Amino acid sequence: MAAVDIAKSEWLVSHMARVSDTRQLSTADERRAAVLRTAIGAFAAKGYYGTTTSEVAKAAGISQAYVYRLFPDKESLFVAVIEHCSVRMREAFAEAGAKATGSDPAAVLYALGDAYARLIVDRDLLLVLMQATCAASEPAIGNAIRACYAKEVEYVRAISGASEEEIQEFFSRGFLCNTLVAMSVDTVDAPWAHTLMAGIRHY
């Protein structure tokens, strides 16, 4: 075989190996994303302590052993779920900020608040974040949920230019919204519910 043919052959083998590695990586990434989406629902329903990796695996249609190939343990899986939810929030904020009707802090914060209200129509995302705060005594989970809100606060600060008081009010209303939505207070026809729901956007 000529030297040029040998070189071509070697290049082809190398290229096919790289393609194979890329496909395997892509498949693993896709499977990891699928497990995270499934895990959100599982953890939202039963919390960190009440959910098992075998339940997540069954819901995702994979073996428990494969879950452990993707995540070392349940704690790391839950931390990854928190990070996934955090990214989704910032993506929603970024899209809303770009569409805000004005550039002043009030207009931007209004747009972000509306985006958040629409985001938590997916109650699983909302409930996972609340479940994470309940399990924050676990060091890794506490670090993850604090990092989540640290990123959200700094992102809102950067995109809105709002004051400290405005940012605090924004997140205070968001936390109230979380609680009201989690308890389905919007379905309660009572004075106390009307008081707490006043001015709260929900979809």
Report which of 146, 154, 152, 90 is spatially closest to residue 119, judged by C-alpha positions.
90
- Over its length of 203 residues, how does the chain's per-residue pLDDT go in tens digits? 554 444 444 444 454 444 444 444 457 778 888 889 899 999 999 999 999 999 999 888 888 998 999 999 999 999 999 999 999 999 999 999 999 998 899 999 999 999 999 999 989 999 999 999 999 999 999 999 999 999 999 999 999 999 999 999 999 999 999 999 999 999 999 999 999 999 998 88
Exposure pattern of 84-120 as b/e (b: 16+ CB <10 Å)? bbbeebeebbeebbeebeeeebeebbbbbbbbbbebb
> Which of helix, strand or coil describes residue 29?
helix
DSSP symbol at 121: T
- Whole-number Å distance between alpha carbons of 121 and 10: 54
Amino acid at 147: A
Task: Please write the tens of the pLDDT for every residue from 20-38.
Answer: 444 444 577 788 888 898 9
Report residue 2 as tokens: 């000529």
Report which of 177, 178, 197, 179 is spatially closest to residue 187, judged by C-alpha positions.
197
- Whole-number Å distance between alpha carbons of 173 and 156: 14
pTM value?
0.82
Name the CATH superfamily housing domain 27-197.
Tetracycline Repressor, domain 2 (1.10.357.10)
